Structure 1
């Protein structure tokens, strides 16, 4: 259940499937992100979020807003350090929130970036999460 201040609870982070020891990279951070969600993610993985990595990461958290530009560019950038079996959690403002990203743009961006939309997750009152993965044949 979302908090009344618009932030996520630790229970909502479980929908992201994050577990202790995963290497999670964060891209697109800005002062509008859900800090409680970020803290809950770090608690779940028992570590800090990475901004740059010398090794492949298991998960990329990509905060994306309409003004950030073409979502394809963000997804392609997110693939840079992602392991072949990893996933991207694309976090976008929910419908009616400032900087909302149209789901059609996300679907087209995923296809163009060579990704497949997987399950969505409700993680916050103000942010929604969409899981993106490489097509099954492209995972090693």
Structure 2
């Protein structure tokens, strides 16, 4: 089986177990991690979702999971409301040291969010932007982490 994601293809078996050379692994997802998916809608990229679940070798959990998660995959569009609120809400179940991958429509697509707005919202939410990645034809990803505290 092969899945084309982000212009490349991940072949099960050919690129490592569960297609681990694909976008799910590029986002840092590994088997046994628990990843919470928030903001899913009809416009999300199913190929990307499958690639993430292939990298996890499991299904993602939803907002009703009720336990700690290693990472959050947050789909967000301009019309979804206040991004700061969305980011703060995504921290609810996130384990210390976990990451949020904010997925937003690419520039020029419906629902796109300006990079400066993402940076500002992250700072207000107490998060630091560490990297961005093009993960599919229509969606870009921004990696956000809570700054390490001194202690």
Question: Greater helix percent: which structure?
Answer: 1
Q: Distance in 2 between matches of 1:15 and 1:71?
A: 24
Partner deviation per Cα, 1:84-112 (whole Å, 9 max, x = no partner): 11000000000111110111111010000
Kept in 2: contact 1:88–1:133 (CA 8 A): yes
Map of 1:102 onto structure 2? 114
Kept in 2: contact 1:90–1:130 (CA 8 A): yes
Map of 2:127 onto structure 1? 115
Map of 1:2 onto structure 2? 6
Larger Rg: 2
| Residue from 51, 61, 78 that aligns with 1:66 | 78
After TM superposition, the structure 1 = structure 2 runs for residues 1-140 of structure 1, keeping only pairs within 5 Å, are 2-3=6-7, 9-10=9-10, 11-51=22-62, 52-137=64-149
- Aligned-residue RMSD, C-alpha: 1.6
Runs of 5+ in structure 2 lacking a partner?
11-21
Shift in Å at residue 9 of structure 1?
4.5
Q: TM-score, normalised by structure 2?
A: 0.84
**4+ runs deviating over 4 angstroms:** none
Runs of 5+ in structure 1 lacking a partner?
none
Q: TM-score, normalised by structure 1?
A: 0.91
How many residues align? The count is 135
